[in-house]
Structure 1
Amino acid sequence: MRRSDRELRDPGQLLEVIDACKVFRLAMAAEGRPYLVPLNFGYAYEGGQFEFYFHSALQGRKLDLLRQNPQVCFELDCGHALVPADLPCGYSYRYASVIGEGTVELVEEPARKVLYLQRLLRHQTGRDFPLREEQAASVAVGRILVHSLTGKAHR
């Protein structure tokens, strides 16, 4: 990272950014082309391991591509603010971001789908919701096992 003074290394710092963001962008590559989609997400950090969760329609391009190549990259950012200046080169921008790489597992087990959807709902709403396996069956659920994660902030 060129600006090492802005790098976020500590898991607590990364979690602070992840907690503040509600949308991440999931990048996939298959069929010789990149594809990027914004998604709501949930996450867990347990035993030093990050996992992210998303939901999707049961069919579509995203799932087709993930079945071909489950290796992904994702990005999330928040805390945006323009810092004005008198001269054009003096302007700056406040932000915090996290970029990660991982492998997607399309979850089939009903109990795990419920758990991951509950984590997504908790992150998005701040509330816990009861959820039945029949409800979870109406969507696809992806779990990203994170292999690398970096953060950067200019606050």
Structure 2
Amino acid sequence: MVTRRNDEQTVAGRHRMMRRADREVTDPRQVAAIIATCRIVNIAYTDAEGITIVPLNFGYVFDAKSNHLTLYFHGSPAGRKMDAVRVANNALSVAFEMATDCEVVEGRTLCNWGEAFKSIVGNGTASIIDDLDEARQGLALLMRQQAGMEHVEFTDQQVRAVTVWKVEADYFTAKVREKPQPHTH
């Protein structure tokens, strides 16, 4: 079984394979389970001010058959994020990361300590949603993910009161490092 890919070289235009192949998650059901337990996604992008990263609440749609992920967000129409999306002609390149079940794992020596986690890392394209029905769906998905509330209804006025935007994931990977089980004698 291959556990590490230490000799992988980056090739322009292609994604590098995950070095720790033993931690890669490819089963869509497991990927869906990881996303479902995350509450914050960190979005990174570059704008006129430089590189930045921002933690955000999110809603999502994950299509396991096509392995396509759409993340939904809401916020003020003014500010750095929305300015960056507009300057990019409503197609801002972003990177994103979300993690759950994070816990320090004690090692035999100080150099062997680590972290158990489940994570999703990828990149995509951010855009502001102009369609009222899609914006309404995005807000409902946010409420489902963040508050566990199903079938929330928003009035047109409520939807128009915020800016709803999304990230269409162009590429992402899932990775898990399980917490070691204690040895029993």
| Shorter-chain TM-score range | over 0.9
Tell me how large the CA RMSD over aligned residues is.
1.4
Q: Which protein has the bigger helix share? A: 1
CA shift at 1:10, angstroms? 2.0
Q: Give secondary structure in 2 for the equivalent of 1:85.
A: coil
Q: Is residue 38 from structure 1 mapped to residue 55 from structure 2 by the alignment? A: yes
Residue matched to 1:143: 166
Count matched residues.
155
Instruction: Return the alpha-carbon distance in structure 2 between the equivalents of residues 143 and 32 of structure 1.
Output: 22
> Any conservation in 2 of the 1:41–1:123 contact (CA below 8 Å)?
yes
What is the aligned partner in structure 1 of residue 11 from structure 2? none
Instruction: Tell me the SS of whatever aligns to 1:72.
Output: strand
Q: Are 1:52 and 1:143, in contact at CA under 8 Å, matched by a contact in 2?
A: yes
The answer to whether the 8 Å contact 1:111/1:133 transfers is: no
Aligned to 2:4: none
- Displacement of 1:31: 1.8
Q: Measure, in 2, the Cα distance between the counterparts of 1:38 and 1:92.
A: 23
Residue 66 (1) aligns with residue 88 (2): no
Gaps of 5+ in 2: 1-17, 179-185
Structure number, greater radius of gyration: 2
Q: Percent identity?
A: 30
Question: Runs of 4+ in structure 1 displaced over 3 angstroms?
Answer: none
| 2:154 corresponds to 1:154 | no
The equivalences for 1:2-151 within 5 A come to 2-31=19-48, 33-46=50-63, 48=66, 49-69=68-88, 70-128=92-150, 129-151=152-174
Deviation at 1:112, TM superposition (A): 1.3
SS at match of 1:5: helix
- Answer whether contact 1:28 1:66 (CA < 8 A) is retained: no
- Of structures 1 and 2, the one scoring higher in RCO (CA 8 A, sep 6+) is 1
Q: Deviations over 1:99-118 (max 9, x none)?
A: 11111120012121111100
TM-superposed deviation, 1:90: 2.6
- Shift in Å, 1:34: 0.9
Structure 2 letter corresponding to 1:140: T
Contact 1:100 1:149 in 2 (8 A): yes
